């Protein structure tokens, strides 16, 4: 188990190092997040719907789209010079490879979410800091399972035609349960309701994470061949 995690860490570190060296995807995702927030702000009538009512949906839709950008890139880089074949021939298990990619994607999305929340507070004047701890918990729970499925699918779609289009087509139905739950909990948090009121949603998110992290770990070896 320790070896498995160590190899996963090595893969994640490699991916993140590549990302921090070029910063192309990360910078694009930050700009994309900011632009989506601006577009949402200008695409609504502020006199008709109060910001606080719309804010959770805006935030989570922005996060979801930005995550999709990051996921597309996870296996794209491995196609150049048959780097993926190199990884598959390396003496590491497929599970380590998947967890490494999954971990790097989680860090990528977490960074985008941090920038997204800061911009969200700035643009929409929503006092997120008052509920930062439960909000952090919701972000983590709503992101983990979805990113696990996204990582699995991104390993497949890189070998298809229209890869950029294939990922959202396959992945968006899987976004529905975490998105619905995350928005429902965030609405309650922003309305200063206690987290205990959202216990059902939180259980759903935890169940989703557990089910899909296990399932994707099991299924990943079927998506890669030397």
Instruction: Specify whether the CB–CB gap between 121 and 36 falls below 8 A.
Output: no
- Asked if 212 touches another protein (CB under 8 A), the answer is yes
The token pair at 62 is 């922005």
- Asked if 196 touches another protein (CB under 8 A), the answer is no
Query: Nearest approach, Cβ of 36 to another protein (angstroms)?
Result: 22
**SS3 (DSSP) at 104:** helix
- Asked if 8 touches another protein (CB under 8 A), the answer is no
Torsion angle defined by CA atoms of residues 163, 165, 167 and 168, in that order, rounded to the nearest 10 degrees: 170
Residues 60, 84, 177, 189: which binds another protein (CB under 8 A)?
Answer: 177
Determine how many CB atoms are found less than 10 A away from the CB of residue 36: 19
Question: Which residues 124-153 are close enough to bind another protein by CB under 8 A?
Answer: 149, 152-153
Determine how many CB atoms are found less than 10 A away from the CB of residue 101: 26
- Asked if 174 touches another protein (CB under 8 A), the answer is yes
- Asked if 210 touches another protein (CB under 8 A), the answer is no
Tell me which DSSP letter residue 191 carries: T
Size of the site for another protein (CB under 8 A): 33
- Asked if 226 touches another protein (CB under 8 A), the answer is no
State how far the Cα of 108 lies from the Cα of 78, in Å rounded to an integer: 17
Interface ranges with another protein (CB under 8 A): 149, 152-153, 156-157, 159-162, 166, 169-170, 172-174, 176-177, 180-181, 184, 200-201, 204, 207-208, 211-212, 215-216, 219, 222-223, 225
């Amino acid at each position: 188990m320790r070896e498995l995690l160590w190899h996963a860490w090595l893969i994640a570190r490699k991916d993140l190092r590549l990302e921090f060296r070029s910063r192309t995807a990360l910078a694009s995702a930050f700009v994309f997040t900011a632009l989506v927030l601006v577009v949402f702000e200008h695409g609504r009538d502020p006199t008709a719907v109060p910001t606080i009512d719309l804010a959770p949906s805006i935030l989570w839709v922005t996060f979801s789209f930005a995550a999709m950008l990051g996921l597309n890139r996870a296996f794209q880089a491995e196609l150049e010079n048959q780097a993926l074949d190199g990884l598959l021939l390396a003496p590491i298990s497929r599970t380590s490879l998947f967890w490494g990619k999954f971990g790097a994607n989680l860090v990528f999305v977490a960074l985008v979410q941090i920038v997204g929340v800061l911009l969200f507070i700035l643009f929409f004047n929503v006092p997120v800091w008052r509920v930062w701890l439960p909000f952090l918990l919701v972000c983590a729970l709503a992101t983990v399972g979805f990113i696990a499925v996204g990582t699995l699918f991104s390993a497949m779609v890189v070998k298809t035609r229209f890869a950029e289009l294939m990922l959202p087509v396959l992945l968006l139905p899987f976004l529905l349960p975490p998105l619905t739950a995350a928005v429902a909990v965030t609405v309650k948090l922003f309305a200063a309701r206690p987290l205990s009121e959202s216990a059902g949603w939180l259980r759903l998110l935890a169940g989703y994470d557990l089910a899909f992290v296990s399932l994707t770990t099991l299924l990943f070896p079927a998506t890669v061949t030397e």
